[in-house]
Structure 1
Amino acid sequence: MKALVFNPFSGAAGDMILGCALDLGADRKAVKELIEASVPVSVDIREVVKNGIKAMDVRINVPEKEHVRTYPELVDLVKAAKLPGRVEVSALDIFLKMAEAEASVHGQPDFETLHFHEVGQSDALADIIGSSAAIHALKCDSVYCTPINVGSGTIECAHGTLPVPAPATLELLRKGKLYFRGGSENKELLTPTGASILAHFARPVETFPQGRVLSIGYGAGDADLAGPNVLQGVLSELDSCLIPDIIEVLETNADDVSGEVLGNLFEELLSMGARDVVIIPATMKKGRPAHIIKVISKPEDSAKLARKIITETGSLGVRVIPTRHRLMAARKIERIKLEVEGQIYDTAVKIARDSEGILLNISAEFEDCKIIAKTSGVPLKEIIRRAEEAARKLFS
């Protein structure tokens, strides 16, 4: 599986993302022509050296000062550009993410009157269209982003003096579930344009997914910093065709808790978003019977799930075991028709495939099979076997 990993150790802006994708191999001439045909700008692309690192520098030249555009005006400009289908979809979604972030920050739900200041200018429009075209041109199966250095301090903008990251940028990070950290540089290193592009394309990872490096690219930023102001991008062939997923494992020991309480806790945790729950019988000191409760959780759900465990069991603490990532199959639920004893039943089956679509496993839905077995009088294990056999014929 071919993956693109952005590593924003020095932040990210629209022109840095565009330069990085071009340095990784996207067709410079084609992307430049697309931008200049879509937006009233000229584009200069050149190689520069930033603190010892060769990087691609993209300059968007805007001929004159522009008026502040509204969100509907930007949508109309993108649609009027007649972009390739996937590029248009990406550009429109990126601007929608910006609009949602601005509306949330300003308490202005009406997008029709929402004004974009810095991010509504032609250079930002060019960055978004160009980045979308260049990333799609790399033809990756997936895109990831490691924690972003957002910088620190304050910035001056159309709304006055604001903290770093700016409120709209912070909202984009939240909605994209992207990891970030503050930096030592007293400067804004992540722009709203950069945040919105990454929020659209990338899934967050804490570290590089394991794989073999195919190529490395760097997009140059404008600022002169103590370190190289570049965005690093890596094209990798991942070690497997399984899908990386970031999780945490919650664990605690519980004694003096009844089976009824544990059974209820099991159901409550799953309903609250736990990926899996296991309760294991154990023996504690002085021979006391107990249970080990283990929960697989997304990092953003860990706190609420831990609180639920504590309030329901009386435990004084929950261990959080960070797991950098797990590898999993892509899962999809399909419904099939199953004939049993002359009667047609509808049942669900879970289809597991790798990222290239190769079938890994098929499993029948237990609850559906249980109902069919009870209705037909055929043993449950036979119903499960037949359902999986029928599904394999349909989906192999």
Structure 2
Amino acid sequence: MLGGKRILLIIGGGIAAYKCLDLIRRLRERGASVTPVMTRAAEEFVTPLSVAALAGEEVHRDLFDLTKEAEMGHIQLSRVADLVVVAPATADLMGKMAGGLASDLATTLLMATDTPVLCAPAMNVRMWDHPATQRNLAQLRGDGIRFVGPNDGDMACGEFGPGRMAEPLEIIAAIEQALGAGPLAGKRVIVTSGPTQEPIDPVRYISNHSSGAQGTAIARALAGLGAEVVFVTGPAQVAPPPGVEVVRITTAQQMLDAVQAALPADAAIFAAAVADWRVAEVAGSKMKKTEGALPTLSFAENPDILATISQMKKGRPALVVGFAAETDDVLANATAKRARKGCDWIVANDVSPGTGTFGGSENTVHIVREDGVEDWPRMGKQEVADRLARRIAEALHG
């Protein structure tokens, strides 16, 4: 799929720069050519000689190279590529990109290009969570920049959390999607998946049996059709698919916040099994069992994520799809839910005991729309996802 494609790879200054050596090798194995650009900070982590040897091309490092600048070399570099990849995209690089700065070759190329840009962020977890970085991230997304990662994991600094650069194969998948000619190329889709967990005290919570398998399959299918997928997942039993931007959450409120932060989007698919209620006041320490007495829990309603997004006055996705997991009167309840929430489609399924839907490999769904109901036969969850992804592509293209 990458045969003949030209990748301009901008390597930022972070410990994750070492992964770019493997990334270059894998890109070339797939037939892509790689033109490397290194910041001065990147040279502290990997050598230009190593990068050039793997890329089979000269490493570009200086903005003011008189021989090349006679022909406006930095402008040419920024425009001959099919895709610009920034990996690692450090907090510094992201800040300069968001602010429109052009202080060295890397940032000048990014300012001078009209080629699509894909960033693979990598930084300390505290830097990633800093309000300035999150503001820059929102600005860059609004500017049309694509992202892959970061992932959760151990940091070189000894901390744990989001900030690890995506692995080379994940970046490859994101590159393939960005360059793909699939029917959803250029479309941004949010997918929620898995259960939420609502804490009772530090060791107990309210949740459900959702495995996240169906939401994961949908995200994989949409990405396979070329979509840029933001995958907002609760504590699921299955791993997220490669090539999507993963946002991990625990509670319903966190899921709503993550979805709103991921907007704007062309479509939003709400496959998560969100807890309807939460404990009004979470105990600060473990609740002790008292002989002969039962605890009294007061509940509060969780935010209605599907209704909130469906009823947005401004910036609503063109297509909003909800799910209705029902144990009885499946179609009647799903039809009422679609009207009540204000979404475009409801994917209804029977999760009553004996169906094996929760945690199983198969599903039987019905697509409830304003103009009627489409009944699908029982099939594997990935087949359901592939079919739904094709329907979504058809809907977004009118």
Give TM-score scaled by structure 2 length.
0.30
Larger Rg: 1
Q: Which has the higher strand share?
A: 1
Give TM-score scaled by structure 1 length.
0.30
Q: Highest relative contact order (Cα 8 Å, sep 6+), 1 or 2?
A: 1
